[in-house]
Structure 1
Amino acid sequence: MTDDSLQEQRTGTLLAEDVLLALFDPSSGTIAGENTLFSVLGGAVLADLAQAGRATSEDAGIRGVRIHSAGDAPDDELLRPAWDYVSEKPREVQGVLAAIGPNLRAPLLDRLVDHGHLGRTAHRALGVFPTTRLTDGDTGRRAQIIDAMRRALVDGEQPDPRTAAVIALVSASGGLPTLHREIPWSGATATRAKEIERNDWAAGAAAAAVTRTMVAIITNTLVATTVIAHR
């Protein structure tokens, strides 16, 4: 599949879905970085709102960066709670992530399963307790996302804005090293990931520039959250 067709496939989908797919490990059926996942998914939703023109940021000086709602309420049921929260009054980034993040994992997984990007199979934990296991879906979506990430991080290609945002969020969460089987981890890979975190990617259209600004704000917050979570 070409880059253009991948971008077309992504139209109308959530950045938060791509981030969750990137953090999914098909070999174990688990999600990497569960201890900071709520912040990462919350950040991805804020970036989705920014890209859609539904959220903006404001430097409030000593009070930090505040997130404002913009435009009309989004139709997407996974974006609406975040928009509702910041529409009440401007909110600091960390507060928004803490408020919206914990409720995102389950519905995002349900959507990915519904669209065939992930699967669920029944099995028994310890051979006794009935439970379900996540599996890679049959759409090839995750493989395409990982391939685009690898080409940007390892092969030195300039990422499209969507891929750059996924890399920045996954990197800031500390989750990139867990993908080492698919994206070889090295000092050069780490350096490139940090460059992308710091906005070293082409902005392109105005919507992409707005997303880039929001992603930079979020990644700064995620880095601090990740450090605290691992102490």
Structure 2
Amino acid sequence: MRITLAEEVMLLSLDDESGSVKQRQSVNWAVAGALLLELVLAERVRVSGKYLELVDAPPTGEELLDGRIESIRAWMRGRTRRRVSEWLTKDQAKAVGPVVEWLVGRGVVVEERRKALGVFPVRRYPESDGAAERELRERLASAVSKGAEPDERTASLVAVIHAAGLHGLAFPGIPRKEITARTAAISEGHWEAESIRAAIRDMQLAMAAVTAATVVTVT
């Protein structure tokens, strides 16, 4: 059973004890980018510069990915291509839920429901089996901290982590400045990932600008 890139991002972001999502806003963008990149690797989506287009190919057989293909198809509205950044903007707020549900279905995490203050429903997703996350972190450490040559999937994941600024989640305890150069080098060496990385980065900068403008207006 292969864990997708988006699921790997979720494993890195879920708190091992509480099951809550850390750095939720950045993780939203990372998961959306990881799902899209997974489709690129599966040759169901093509990314060229700032644009994406669907490839005429049979379903992958993975429900999580095929559902995203249909969502992109509906969003394209018959066009041959649309901007990567537009899709990520649309998908970033919706991508986490299906990925977490898929992890639950695989038995990697369990769903716990409770009520905060005895009133508000809250869901948490602690791990049921830590083997997948341990293997994941070992693979990332080998590529980034130890300098081993990453395979395509590991390089793709590193590119998403770098773009979304999730260094602290992926490499806890290691100062970001010690690993940023390596994650950047891996990202820039992976053409498809670089296109998506740039789109995530641009959208994050835009969101930061909007937030700053809102604060100034209010104050």
TM-score for both structures, normalised by structure 2: 0.80
Paired amino acid for 2:141: R
Give 5+ residue unaligned stretches, structure 1: 1-8, 60-64, 200-211
Paired amino acid for 2:200: L
Task: Provide the alpha-carbon RMSD of the alignment.
Answer: 2.4
Is residue 69 from structure 1 mapped to residue 63 from structure 2 by the alignment? no
Equivalent residue for 1:104? 95
Cα distance, 1:17–1:79 mapped onto 2, change above 3 Å:
farther
- How far residue 94 of structure 1 moved from its aligned partner, in angstroms, is 0.7
- How far residue 127 of structure 1 moved from its aligned partner, in angstroms, is 5.7
Comparing both structures, which one devotes a greater share of its residues to helix?
2
Is residue 147 from structure 1 mapped to residue 102 from structure 2 by the alignment? no
SS at match of 1:36: helix
Equivalent residue for 1:118? 109
Q: Residue 181 of structure 2: which of 191, 211, 218 is its match? A: 191
**Is this contact kept in 1: 2:114–2:122, CA < 8 A?**
yes
- How far residue 28 of structure 1 moved from its aligned partner, in angstroms, is 4.0
**Is this contact kept in 2: 1:69–1:87, CA < 8 A?**
no
What do residues 93-131 of structure 1 show as CA deviations (whole Å, max 9, x unaligned)?
111112333322111111101101111223442466453
Equivalent residue for 1:170? 161
Comparing both structures, which one devotes a greater share of its residues to strand?
1
Paired amino acid for 1:100: D
**Percent identical:** 22
Give 5+ residue unaligned stretches, structure 2: 213-219
Equivalent residue for 1:221? 199
Cα distance, 1:19–1:87 mapped onto 2, change above 3 Å:
farther
How far apart, CA to CA, are the structure 1 residues paired with 2:31 and 2:149?
24
**Is this contact kept in 1: 2:9–2:31, CA < 8 A?**
yes
- Number of residue pairs the alignment of both structures matches: 203
How far apart, CA to CA, are the structure 1 residues paired with 2:150 and 2:71?
30
How far apart, CA to CA, are the structure 2 residues paired with 1:154 and 1:38?
25
**Is this contact kept in 1: 2:48–2:195, CA < 8 A?**
no
**Is this contact kept in 1: 2:89–2:203, CA < 8 A?**
no
Q: Residue 122 of structure 2: which of 124, 127, 131 is its match? A: 131
TM-score for both structures, normalised by structure 1: 0.76
**Is this contact kept in 1: 2:31–2:95, CA < 8 A?**
yes
**Is this contact kept in 2: 1:38–1:97, CA < 8 A?**
no
What do residues 118-153 of structure 1 show as CA deviations (whole Å, max 9, x unaligned)?
112234424664533210121611221112111211
How far apart, CA to CA, are the structure 2 residues paired with 1:43 and 1:129?
31
